[in-house]
Structure 1
Amino acid sequence: MAHLLHQFLSETAASRPHHTALIAGENAVTFAELDRQSDAVACALQSAGVVRGDRVAVMLENSIEYVAGLFGALKAGAVYVPVNPSTKADKLAYILTDAGVRALIAPAALARQVVPAAGEAPHLATTLWVGPAVPAGAGGLSFTDIVATHPDPQSGGFKPQDRGLIDQDLAAILYTSGTTGRPKGVMLSHAALVNTTWSISTYLENTPDDVVMCVLPLTFGYGLSQILTGARVGFTVVLERSFAFPAETLARMVKHRITGLPGVPTFFSTLLGMEALKTADLSSLRYLTNAAAPLPTAHIDRVRERFPDAAFYSMYGMTECCTRICYLDPRDLGTKTASVGRAIPNCEAYVVDELGNRAAPGEVGELVVRGANVMRGYWNRPEETAKRLRSGPQGETLLYTGDLFTMDADGCLYFVSRKDDVFKCRGEKVSPKEVENALYELEAVVEAAVLGVPDAADGMAVKAYLVVRPGATLTEMAIRQHCRGRLESHLVPKFIEIRDELPKTDSGKIRRATLAETA
């Protein structure tokens, strides 16, 4: 039984060597070939001086090379650090320096932003460049040559040296999206990620026959979980670089007869608005999942209407808990549509009041999590770690999420808001999510964000930022009339701004801080 993350791939490659592991565009790779490629990367990293516990950053778009680099870093005994390829040079330099990255896997096409950042990273020893050649004057190694020339073990190829890892060693440092301030590195052990991967694939009832479409960036924990569950179970993952061309992605969903479709609210909103979806044959679809941000109830209803035979999983998580804390059993969706359900297997999640006592059913309080999925802490941030992690009554580690929830009498959880998002209007508390849910009931609304803005009369007034579906017409009068029929008077938006798009983090969450700066 695997106790290290990369053992998922090695074990599946041994039991299902010829099964397709990944499809990326017109390219595909089996588990055996992916195992060989990741061995090649691991051997190259070790030859370059990477030792147990060193950090290796992977800065690539969704691709076969990305996954080979991820598992190669783990096999080398290193700690995997994902970096979004759109990261600018100054932020890249910060992450490379903060994490003390020893080796970087990056695209040759981005050398102009990578090389200056690498020059500011004191611990960086080598870069593996993905592309036709090592960029002129850059130095480093060719990832392509490394993978192409490394034979498999049956042909005399070397396996990477066993660095003696145990499940308490770090497997990954995932930098938070950083909606405010500098991003923090979340430390996750092999034990935490192995447990959570088992838990997710268990409640989703994954089988080797699944074919899962991944439009989520692999630098995002939710995207990473598709790769890890695929490696554990032995199913095929279809990788999309993005959802920039929805019609092409939809065509590949049909072509590959996908059975699983993970997404975020913006993805589902776009998908539901596509005319081609009405005639697309997605009868193979077994389940859909939503995480990262709550999907509005109105959108859930539309998803269920379009895919009546597929199970829909509303989920909630955060990077600090291997991106997964709870999920709603699809059988409860009809009666608890707004809930994110109960804790995942081998995890407990509950609500506490301001005194730290467990809250009564229906009482709003902070969500606390205990379980194997809880992070080790923030990299080099002991004070930040102490604010979030506390010791439990049995000596276990408790994570205080900073999110407000309620729990009903059946133990199902309901997200209210981030603690920092709640504000008062006319002396009454405003939860932005409550207003946003009402706005999402409007067919024309694609995205909505509600903030409190300074106002002479109300102290803080409700302001709604909206993105409207192309071709749709929506007036402020119609919006307020709709809200008055569903919300208390102090919750009705006083100010409304319609935009072409809303600012988002790398994981697709709306950047409320950015909106607040322009309010």
Structure 2
Amino acid sequence: MTAAKLDCTDTEWLDAGLLHAPFCTMARRYPGRPALVCRDRFMTYGELRERIVRSRTHLHQAGVRQGDRVAVVLPTSPDAVITLYAVLSLGAAYVPVDPCWPLPLQRELLGRLQPRALVADGCERLHLACLPSRVTAAQLARPACGEEEVPRVAAAPELSACVLWARGSAGALQGVQVSHRAARHVVDRACDELALGCGDRVAGLSSFCHGASLFELFAPLASGATLYLYDASNAAPAAPLARFLACQGITVLRAAPTMLALLVAGGRLDTQDLSRLRTVVLAGGRWPAGGFERLRALLPGHVTYHELCRPGETAPPCLPSDGPLPGSPMATLPVRRSNAAAVERWDGLPRLMEDGECGPPDGAPL
């Protein structure tokens, strides 16, 4: 089956509970809408879907099958987004690894996780004999050749969608295996609570290695909105980020209090046109004294504020230390408080659970 033929039929059989299923529905329904923007790169839903299908074919030819893990060592970019969705479409789980992490750490993580394939630019730097297949982003972008059929994968929501990373109390990286159902719990509640739609422009600021990326990677593309990836090379300075928010007309921003505090201190928000911004989603963490009040004073008065917990957190994120101000439309998305069992360590690294699910089971009360 060619990629073109597969592209016409591959959404009919998807389980509605899979993490990537809503994007497939949006791409089929609204192929001409803008989906992904990064610097000078612009892709519609139809174009993004076509690239995902092409990459899926290459990954299948490289030996990736349902239940496998695929390590993705790429910077934040459209190529990385395409690769993650392509991995999910094969019923495999993606394992993002930041290419800026020290090479010894990358090798250690990949050696322990034993991925079926590695997608990276500059694979030769890792020198891992345990990797059966190595593919570059450029290879995934090439037109697929041959008539090899990519079988339909009847993946179930309880299967693993990804392995994400978080820092433990001792500073060591912890890995959390997240099922499709757990990730969809976060994404669906965010879409509903924030009323995401085709007119929204969502900022993509988070590393794909961390739980915060689930909202940015999947909620916009599940609702017909546009994901604007921020240039990671400008990650630290506050002024470029403030200009990015204004110039791109961002409507939904998710950021940690530390980043928002930097924006307040050095972003000169009072000189930027942020009139299109309607929602700020707060990540976990505490505010410096008076930080939340200063942010609200600098942003338009119509902006609403929400908190969103993500898989891997052992407790809901902290509201500002003094609580919401009177009249502040602050909301906290529901989350179970029993997530600590999702991660267990071994040899300084986590032991991945059979099911690291952090969302509630179907029908279970929160």
Q: Please report how far the alpha carbon of residue 36 of structure 1 lies from its aligned counterpart in structure 2 after TM superposition.
A: 1.2
Give the superposition deviation at 1:185.
2.0
Alpha-carbon distance, 1:162 to partner: 1.7
Distance 2:253 2:305 in 1: 10
Q: Would the alpha carbon gap of residues 383 and 15 (structure 1) be closer, same or farther in structure 2, given more than 3 Å must change? A: closer
Work out which structure has the larger RCO, using CA pairs closer than 8 Å and 6 or more positions apart in sequence. 2
Distance 1:257 1:179 in 2: 37
- Residue 34 of structure 1, CA deviation: 1.1
Identity of aligned residues (%): 24
1:259-274 aligned at under 5 Å gives the runs: 259-274=251-266
1:230 corresponds to: 220
Q: Distance in 1 between matches of 2:296 and 2:341?
A: 34
Tell me the SS of whatever aligns to 1:273: helix
1:35-63: CA deviation from partner (whole Å, max 9, x where unpaired): 11111111111111111111011122211
2:338 maps to which of 369, 386, 408:
369
Counterpart CA distance in 2 for 1:32 and 1:379 is 42
Structure 2 residue aligned with 1:125, among 119, 126, 132? 132
Name the SS for the 1:219 alignment partner. coil
For residue 201 of structure 1, what is the aligned residue in structure 2?
191
Distance 2:287 2:156 in 1: 38
CA distance in 2, matches of 1:225, 1:378: 24
Q: Which residue identity is paired with 1:92?
A: Q
Task: Provide closer, same or farther for how the CA distance between residues 281 and 83 of structure 1 changes in structure 2, counting only shifts above 3 A.
Answer: same
The 2-side partners of 1:379 and 1:40 are apart by 37
Q: TM-score w.r.t. structure 2 length?
A: 0.81
Q: How does 1:236-255 map to 2 (within 5 A)?
A: 236-242=226-232, 243-255=235-247
Q: Do the aligned partners of 2:31 and 2:45 also contact (CA within 8 Å) in 1?
A: yes
Match of 2:282 in 1: 290
Q: Deviations over 1:386-438 (max 9, x none)?
A: 9x999x9xxx899xxxxxxxxxxxxxxxxxxxxxxxxxxxxxxxxxxxxxxxx
Higher alpha-carbon Rg: 1
Aligned to 1:24: 38
Q: For residues 3-33 of structure 1, what are the alpha-carbon distances to aligned partners after superposition, in whole Å with 9 as ceiling and x for unaligned?
A: 1112122111011111111110011111111
Residues 236, 384 of structure 1: alpha-carbon distance in 2 compared, 3 angstrom cutoff: closer
Which TM-score applies when normalising by structure 1?
A: 0.59
Tell me the CA shift for residue 265 of structure 1. 2.4
**Number of matched pairs:** 341
Instruction: Note if contact 1:222-1:292 (Cα within 8 Å) is conserved in structure 2.
Output: no
Whole-Å Cα distance in 2 between the matches of residues 384 and 297 of structure 1? 38
Q: Residue 165 of structure 2 aligns to which amino acid in structure 1?
A: Y
Q: Distance in 1 between matches of 2:50 and 2:315?
A: 30
Residues 167, 189 of structure 1: 8 Å contact kept: yes
TM superposition shift of 1:218: 2.2
The amino acid that maps onto 2:132 is: A
Q: CA deviation at 1:224?
A: 3.0
Q: CA distance change for structure 1 residues 377 and 160 in 2, over 3 Å: closer, same or farther?
A: farther
Report the Cα distance in structure 2 between the residues aligned to 1:198 and 1:375, rounded to whole angstroms: 23
The yes-or-no answer on 1:55 pairing with 2:64 is no
- Amino acid in structure 2 at the alignment position of 1:369: S
Once residues 104 and 74 of structure 1 are traced to their aligned partners in structure 2, the CA distance between those partners, rounded to angstroms, is: 14
Match of 2:115 among 101, 124, 127: 101
Deviation at 1:216, TM superposition (A): 1.9
Tell me the distance in 1 between the aligned counterparts of 2:84 and 2:78.
10
**Cα RMSD for the two superposed structures:** 3.6
